[in-house]
Chains A and B, each alone.
Chain A
Amino acid sequence: MSTIEDARKLIGVPQYEETGEFPVERSYVWTMCAAVENGNPLFWDEDAARELTDGPIAPPTMLSVWFRPHHWAPGRTHEHHPLKVHFDLKERLGLPEAVMTDNTMVFYEPVRPGDLLSTRQILRSVSDEKTTKLGTGCFWVIDVEYTNQKGEKVGVESYTGFGYRRASQERASQERSGGADRGAS
């Protein structure tokens, strides 16, 4: 386990640059719209999409979906972790639990079916240790930047995460280690 200071060395460093496993799929747009009963004609009506957005687009808030892989793919050799920087921090700081508390998305060029997006993750901040009703841990902010195959920026997401140990986990950890290494896991 490393310290908060070590974790902060990654602030501002682009990490995990990658291109999507699949192009943006129109049927997935319909799956999403059906799940929340979104009848916006941009997604369902060819004429409306042609007139208003020069053809079909994906709902802007689906931005992060395009980098969450399908549950399985043939020949996939590595386990993809969306928001890997978040999971790295949990591991690095020895925090077994985490929640996302805050999420901002900024939208630029529309995402269209057939687009192949690229992404990178940038850690923006790591707080000092704090205790909330969930447990004790750190807050952090991670930006995820997205571009399309033409290099145009399509969006940026900022996530605030809180990684923590529950009070019971903290006690168990202290008992195992005699209290010398509180977060070992």
Chain B
Amino acid sequence: MSPLAPRLVFGDVAEGDLLPSLPYDVTATTVVLGALATRDWRPMHHDKDFAVQRNGTRDIFLNTPNQAAWFERYITDWTGPHGRLGRVTFRMRDSVFPGDTMVLDGAVSEVGVDDSGCGWIGLDITLSVEGDVKSTCSARVALPMDDDDNPWHRGADRWKP
């Protein structure tokens, strides 16, 4: 078995680098699939009448754990499988509804190596609809230092997320 080469190593990345945009057309299916996949059975994520009458929103909307999964996918599409998430923070500002085209954009906010030799990058990511930011995510992600490194092989004593 030949070793998998990292798609991205720490030295490839500089502060200010932009990640490619990811546009995605949200449908009711997107919302419901994500709600069920995260076992979030609350009705405002699958029942439009409930969402409109109880939440006062115009439709069902993406739930938080589903957005987390979208952010993870966006990050690891870029880093490849060697990228190991250490920490993510999201803030929801407004809801994302069926019919919206959501666009994920990201930028590298910092790069650094910790005292155990692990290479970390900070990412600031936005999820927008028609230019309005609906939620933001800041992430701390470990990247391999070189082709032979693998952040997933760091044990608890060498993993400082």
Residues of A at the B interface (CB closer than 8 Å) are 28, 31-42, 47-48, 51-54, 59-62, 64-65, 68-71, 99-110, 152-153
With A and B bound together, what is the CA distance between A47 and B34 in angstroms? 27
Query: Residue of A at shortest CB range from B1?
Result: A47
Contact indicator A61/B81 (Cβ below 8 Å): no
Option from B37, B68, B76 in Cβ contact (under 8 Å) with A103: B68
With A and B bound together, what is the CA distance between A109 and B85 in angstroms? 11
Contact indicator A68/B40 (Cβ below 8 Å): yes
Residue among B39, B72, B82, B159 having the largest count of chain A Cβ atoms under 10 Å: B39
| Residues of A close to B34: CB separation below 8 A | 35-36
Given contacts A32-B37, A39-B77, A107-B84, 10 further A-B contacts (CB under 8 A): A38-B77, A47-B1, A52-B82, A62-B38, A62-B69, A65-B38, A68-B41, A104-B89, A104-B90, A153-B156
**Given contacts A32-B38, A36-B34, A68-B38, are A61 and B156 in contact (CB under 8 A)?**
no
Number of interface residues of B (CB under 8 A): 39
**Given contacts A68-B40, A71-B41, A107-B161, are A51 and B4 in contact (CB under 8 A)?**
yes
Option from B33, B71, B90, B159 in Cβ contact (under 8 Å) with A35: B33
Give B44-63 as 1s and 0s: 1 = Cβ < 8 Å from A's Cβ atoms: 00000000000000000000
With A and B bound together, what is the CA distance between A35 and B89 in angstroms? 21
Contact indicator B37/A28 (Cβ below 8 Å): yes
| Residues of B close to A101: CB separation below 8 A | 91-92
**Given contacts A106-B161, A108-B161, A110-B152, are A61 and B68 in contact (CB under 8 A)?**
yes
Query: Residue of B at shortest CB range from A59?
Result: B72
B86 adjacent to chain A (CB < 8 Å): yes
Give B121-161 as 1s and 0s: 1 = Cβ < 8 Å from A's Cβ atoms: 00000000000000000000000000000101000100101
**Given contacts A32-B37, A70-B39, are A38 and B76 in contact (CB under 8 A)?**
yes
